Amino acid sequence: MSKRKIIREYVSDYIKWYPERWRWSLENSDEQCQRYRETRARRSDDIYRDNDLKPDFYSIERDAEQFGLRYVKWTDFFGLNWIGEKGVHAYAGAPNYEGNLYYYCPEEDDSYDGDGYCISWDYDAYKNQPPEDTYTKIVERGVSCWVDTAHVSTIKYHYFVDNHLFKDTYIVLKYRDGEELRIYSDYENLIRGLRRHGKDKLIRSLFKTMNEHFIKLRDSEREEVREFYPGETAEEMFAEEDE
């Protein structure tokens, strides 16, 4: 019997491709934006939701489908030009009321909806979260992720100097079996989990590269970039709470 492959990450949600959904946006121009403000903006008394009165695109979408169209430009009776495109990336949402988690499984036949993700029946986002002796919970773009920090073998921090402090940065976690994970945010909880699993040597390597980033921000020739310098080292920024 073959040994089960370790799942490196569980997630509460993921971005899914919906080929049959339509996405609508106003044509991008100052004239169109001004006309929108004068006609459709803030026309509803319902303060608990988006109170702009937008068109009902349902009949336009059905008509476009009759002709196999995936792109439509439509003008409403205010003279506003709307661009419709068929095919949307959107979050899939929880698979059930219990909040069971997903994991990436492109090689498995029972992937959920054919998007390369499977439902975990062992873990959920509430009572049965992945165990802390292996996983660390972080939050990226509002999605809860449980990342394997116990078996990380190498770690690398990637950065771009000309952006905000951590904008467009990411951390790559590598494992001995060749798998990799990219982490784009919530570095604080990630580092806390690495500490809990005894990855001090990897953290020192991570901090070394972070400090190189900070120094380049501090020494930049551009004033707007120097403003992003945090004024402290990575060790100080991510100091242990009991220090």
Are the C-beta atoms of residues 182 and 169 closer than 8 Å to each other? no
Residues 86 and 141 both lie in one domain: no
Query: Which stretch of 1-5, 73-77, 221-225, 231-235 has the lowest confidence by average pLDDT?
Result: 1-5
**Total number of domains in the chain:** 2
Find the DSSP H helices in 119-199.
187-196
Distance CA 18, CA 35 (A): 31
User: Structure tokens of 81?
Assistant: 């030009």
- Provide mean pLDDT across the span 162-182: 89
> Among positive and negative, which fits the CA dihedral 140, 145, 150, 151?
negative
pLDDT in tens, 73-90: 999 999 999 999 999 999
- Indicate whether 239 pLDDT > 80: yes
User: Structure tokens of 141?
Assistant: 């773009």
3-state DSSP helix/strand/coil % of the chain, to nearest 5: 25, 30, 45
Distance CA 15, CA 66 (A): 28
State the pairing for strand pair 152-158/143-148: unpaired
Residues 151 and 216 both lie in one domain: yes
Residues 179 and 229 both lie in one domain: yes
Q: Who contacts 62 (Cβ-Cβ below 8 Å, separation ≥6)? A: none
- Indicate whether 217 pLDDT > 60: yes
Q: Partners of 23 in the beta sheet? A: 85
Strand boundaries in 60-130, DSSP class E: 71-75, 81-91, 100-104, 117-124
Query: Which stretch of 51-60, 132-141, 180-189 has the lowest confidence by average pLDDT?
Result: 51-60
Look at residue 60 and tell me if it is in a domain: yes
Residues 174 and 74 both lie in one domain: no
Residues 74 and 136 both lie in one domain: no
Residues 137 and 237 both lie in one domain: yes
| pLDDT recorded at residue 242 | 56
Q: Return the closest-CA partner of residue 26 out of 103, 97, 70, 83.
A: 83
Domain end call among 59, 91, 123: 91
- Indicate whether 243 pLDDT > 60: no
Residues 158 and 72 both lie in one domain: no
Look at residue 100 and tell me if it is in a domain: no
Residues 79 and 156 both lie in one domain: no
Higher pLDDT, 102 or 224: 102
Residues 144 and 60 both lie in one domain: no
Q: Return the closest-CA partner of residue 162 out of 210, 222, 207.
A: 222
Domain end call among 64, 91, 118: 91
Residue 20 lies in domain: 15-91
Residues 242 and 140 both lie in one domain: yes
Distance CA 41, CA 54 (A): 8
| pLDDT recorded at residue 1 | 36
Are the C-beta atoms of residues 8 and 147 closer than 8 Å to each other? yes
Are the C-beta atoms of residues 123 and 130 closer than 8 Å to each other? yes
| pLDDT recorded at residue 64 | 95
CB burial readout 109-140, b (16+ within 10 A) else e: eebbeeeebbbbeebbbeeebbeeebbbbbee
Residues 70 and 154 both lie in one domain: no
- Indicate whether 56 pLDDT > 90: yes
Higher pLDDT, 141 or 241: 141
| pLDDT recorded at residue 43 | 73
Domain end call among 68, 91, 114: 91
- Provide mean pLDDT across the span 145-173: 90
Residues 243 and 136 both lie in one domain: yes
pTM above threshold 0.85 = no
